[in-house]
Structure 1
Amino acid sequence: MKFISKIQKKETRRLPMTGKVKKGFRYYCMAVLTLTAVFAMSTTAFAAGGDPLTVVNNLSDFIFGFIRAIGLILLGFGIVQVGLSLKSHDPSQRANGFLTLAGGIIIVFAKEILTLITG
């Protein structure tokens, strides 16, 4: 009984497409991309009926939430970079990792830092 058989080298080839099939596939792809773009860009915007200050505060909260998300991404990337540098014993990569980590922490807490500064 043979458990290990000879590995056969298999070739991969593209399936043949005629000109009409290629053209139809292009039209299909363009239709899907167009419909995706139309549905992605058509969002309903509701105006706030109250105080304009509330609108500004909501916009500020949204922007700081977006900044916090970017900071969390940088924080995670910094942790990965420090971990890889500890594995490879590379001091320059370790320094870059700690700088990315510190930058991510500062960006995550940017709103709290600004409120602390402004009082």
Structure 2
Amino acid sequence: MKKTNETITARQRRAKRRYFTAVLTLALCAAMTCPAFAAGGDPLTIVNNLSDFIFSIIKAVGVIVLGWGIVQVGMSIQSHDASQRTQGFLCLFGGLMIAFAKEILTTIGAL
């Protein structure tokens, strides 16, 4: 019977330790908060900045695809492989389309 009482008290101690750890963590989170004030200005500029950032990432991916297409075309010319040359030109033109996506969309009036 003594083992059961010791086990219960050990469980109670662990439960109390977990409870106090959770309370202390929540109290620290509440004590260490700092207010964040939004900058005054036009929210449309934030959206435009995000749009420019996303299009710059897309442009970087397009340049990488364009470079890979150039490598494929060069390797196909060296090995005289027509199917690889076709894939290289498709990759090259796809990279150009991706790299200049924003300019294309602006030209056709979609952006």
TM-score by length of 2: 0.63
The answer to whether residue 49 in structure 2 is matched with residue 58 in structure 1 is: yes
Q: Residue in 2 aligned with 1:87? A: 78
Contact 1:48 1:55 in 2 (8 A): no
Alpha-carbon distance in 1 for matches of 2:39, 2:97: 32
Matched, 1:106 2:97: yes
Distance in 2 separating the partners of 1:60 and 1:95 = 33
Which secondary structure does the structure 2 equivalent of 1:50 belong to? coil
The count of aligned residue pairs is 74
**Residue 48 and residue 100 in structure 1: after superposition, are their counterparts in 2 closer, same or farther (change >3 A)?**
farther
For residue 67 of structure 2, the aligned residue among 69, 73, 76 is 76
CA displacement at 1:107 relative to structure 2? 0.6
- Deviation, 1:47, is 5.7
Question: 5 Å matches for 1:27-66?
Answer: 48-66=39-57
Give CA-to-partner distance per residue, 1:74-100, whole Å, 9 cap, x none.
000000000000000000000000000
Name the one with the larger helix percent.
2
Compare CA radii of gyration and give the structure with the larger one: 2
The whole-number CA distance in structure 2 between the counterparts of 1:79 and 1:73 is 10
Letter paired with 1:87: Q
Distance 1:80 1:66, change over 3 A: same
Q: 4+ residue runs of structure 1 moved beyond 4 angstroms?
A: none
| Fraction of identical pairs, as percent | 70
